[in-house]
Amino acid sequence: MVDKLWKNQQKGEWLRLLRSGDHQAFSRFIDKYKETVFLCCRRLGLREDEIEDAASDTFLAAYKALSRYAGQSDLSTWLWSIAYRKAVNHLRKNRRQWQLEEQLNEQVADERQPEMAAQLQGEETEKVVWEAVGRLPRLWAMAVILHYREEKSVADIAKIMGAGENTVKTYLFRARARLKETLAAAFGADVSDKYI
Amino acid sequence: MTNIFEDRFDRMLGQALHRHREPAPADFTERMMKAIERAEQQRILAGVVLQERLALAASAALGIAAIVAVVFFPSAVAGAFGSIGRGLVDQGGALAGRIPQALAAIGRQWQLYAVLGAAAAVAIYSLLDLLLGDRLRTA
């Protein structure tokens, strides 16, 4: 309880510093969230040379908008929505609309079959799961990452992706069914009994 | 988190995705902070340039307005300046007429004015000392 209070107090102080434009606090902010922003840009299918530009745009926009951040949504949800918008803008800049929609909905072509998980443990399981998520259509993969990795609610995911809550639920439902199928094939009967 | 499915599979999926580390350049933070500093400097510079342009535009507009007034409404301008001039001369004359009276009044109550003058001198010295103290002492 005391720990939680102390953490909340520290978080409050950090937020106050961030809003006041403190450079050291913002540097900590980048360190804490850069992985998240790169993940968002990479999962949406930006090219490697576009990823860093989109990440820089995201943090610059966050720096400018922080003084107006009212704290109504979680800081990471707020940053995710900026990163998502910037990444989609970068995609839009270099692709026609139909190409963009196709890219966001396409199933990433990867003919490799995940290795049988009968021999898999720990990090290898993570790799297989990650590869299976990587093969989902990009918007489904984004919803899965936000829900399972970032622990966001459906309402927050809808806010980040600028989609309706029912659309997000559909993405998650379909993605989950596809992942169950793919991972059952990858893990083999004995392991899939354990998990699936 | 409110997981909308919640079973063994979801737990396994959550754990596996949590363990994933996304690669990001190690020096990204440093480069980003430099970019932010540059952006801030540019913002300040843009503000100064805007102020200067506004001042220049205002002085140009004022000059043009004066020229337009002299060219198109010469009689109105002459009338306005004439009345300002006459007003100044009248006020100056009235003020000059009051100087002997003021001197006579000061002469009658010179002790009071001497004390007020000394207090004013001390106040001015204190103010100067407060604002420019170091420079006054080292000069």
Minimal C-alpha gap between A41 and chain B (Å): 11
Condensed to tens digits (0 to 9), the pLDDT of residues A120-177 reads 455 677 888 999 998 999 999 999 999 999 999 999 999 999 999 999 999 999 999 9
Strand partners, A107: A137
Interface of A with B (CB under 8 A): 23, 26-27, 30-31, 34-39, 42, 52, 55-56, 59-60, 63, 123, 125-126, 129-130, 133, 144-145, 147-149, 151-154, 169, 172, 176, 179-180, 194-196
Q: One fold for both A1-105 and A107-196?
A: no
In angstroms, the first-to-last Cα distance of chain B is 70
Interhelix angle A23-43/A48-65, nearest 10 degrees: 140
**Residues from chain A contacting residue B18 (CB–CB below 8 Å):** 148-149
Q: Which of B30, B22, B33, B20 is nearest to A37 (CA)?
A: B22
For residue A41, is pLDDT > 50? yes
As a whole number, mean pLDDT of residues A18-32 equals: 88
A189 burial type by CB count under 10 A (0-12 exposed, 13-18 middle, 19+ buried): exposed
Judge: B29–A30 Cβ closer than 8 Å, yes or no. Answer: yes
Say how many domains are in chain B. 1
Facing residue for B16 by CB, picked from A35, A38, A125? A125
Tell me the C-alpha distance between B118 and B99, whole Å.
22
Residue B60 banded pLDDT, cuts 50, 70, 90:
confident
Judge: A35–B21 Cβ closer than 8 Å, yes or no. Answer: yes
Structure confidence at residue B107 (pLDDT): 80
Among A70-74, A129-133, B10-14, B115-119, where is mean pLDDT lowest? A70-74
- Identify the closest residue of chain A to B27 by CA–CA distance: A31
Judge: A129–B25 Cβ closer than 8 Å, yes or no. Answer: no
Domain coordinates in residue numbering, chain A = 1-105, 107-196
Among A10-24, A95-109, A166-180, B104-118, where is mean pLDDT lowest? A95-109
**CB neighbours of A53 closer than 8 A, spacing ≥ 6?**
A90
- Which range is most confident: A161-175, A178-192, B11-25, B120-134? A161-175
- Per the prediction, chain A carries an average pLDDT of 82
ipTM of this predicted complex?
Answer: 0.76
Which CATH class name applies to A1-105?
Answer: mainly alpha
Residue with the larger pLDDT of the pair A55 and A2: A55
Contact A41, A54 (CB under 8 A): yes
Q: What percent of chain A has pLDDT over 70?
A: 76
Tell me the C-alpha distance between A61 and A83, whole Å.
9
Tell me the C-alpha distance between A172 and A147, whole Å.
8
As a whole number, mean pLDDT of residues A31-48 equals: 91
Tell me the C-alpha distance between A126 and B106, whole Å.
97
* Residue B127 belongs to a domain: yes
- Which of B6, B29, B34, B37 to mutate to probe the A interface, most A CBs <10 Å? B29
Q: Which range of residues forms the domain containing residue B137? A: 104-139
Tell me the C-alpha distance between B29 and A29, whole Å.
9
Structure confidence at residue A118 (pLDDT): 43
Contact A90, A46 (CB under 8 A): yes
Strand partners, A137: A107
Contact A116, A186 (CB under 8 A): yes
- Identify the closest residue of chain B to A151 by CA–CA distance: B1
Structure confidence at residue B4 (pLDDT): 55
Judge: A148–B17 Cβ closer than 8 Å, yes or no. Answer: yes
Q: Taking the domain A107-196, which CATH number applies?
A: 1.10.10.10
* Residue B117 belongs to a domain: yes
Facing residue for B16 by CB, picked from A39, A126, A194? A126
* Residue B111 belongs to a domain: yes
As a whole number, mean pLDDT of residues A105-115 equals: 52
As a whole number, mean pLDDT of residues B82-98 equals: 84
Contact A48, A90 (CB under 8 A): no
Record the pTM.
0.66
* Residue B37 belongs to a domain: no
Structure confidence at residue B133 (pLDDT): 62
In chain B, DSSP finds a helix count (H) and a strand count (E) of 4, 0
B26 touches chain A (CB under 8 A): no
Among A55-59, A114-118, A142-146, where is mean pLDDT lowest? A114-118
B14 touches chain A (CB under 8 A): yes
Among A29-33, A133-137, A187-191, B4-8, where is mean pLDDT lowest? A187-191
Distances (CA, A) of A169 to A34, B4, B62, B110: 27, 9, 64, 93
Facing residue for A42 by CB, picked from B10, B22, B37? B22
For residue A8, is pLDDT > 80? no
Judge: A154–B18 Cβ closer than 8 Å, yes or no. Answer: no
Contact A37, A78 (CB under 8 A): no
Buried b (16+ CB within 10 A) or exposed e, A5-41: eeeeeeeeebbebbeeeeeebbeebbeebbebbbbbb
Distances (CA, A) of A8 to A3, A14, A71, B48: 9, 10, 13, 40
Tell me the C-alpha distance between A49 and A61, whole Å.
19
Structure confidence at residue A151 (pLDDT): 92
Judge: B28–A30 Cβ closer than 8 Å, yes or no. Answer: yes
* Residue B1 belongs to a domain: no
Judge: A34–B29 Cβ closer than 8 Å, yes or no. Answer: yes
Structure confidence at residue A6 (pLDDT): 63
Per-residue tokens: A191: 């392991």
Minimal C-alpha gap between A146 and chain B (Å): 10
Distances (CA, A) of B92 to A176, B16, B78: 93, 92, 21
In chain A, DSSP finds a helix count (H) and a strand count (E) of 9, 0
SS3 A107: strand
Structure confidence at residue A193 (pLDDT): 58
Facing residue for A149 by CB, picked from B3, B4, B17? B17
Query: What secondary structure, in 3-state letters, does A25-37 show?
Result: HHHHHHHHHHHHH
Residue A52 banded pLDDT, cuts 50, 70, 90:
very high
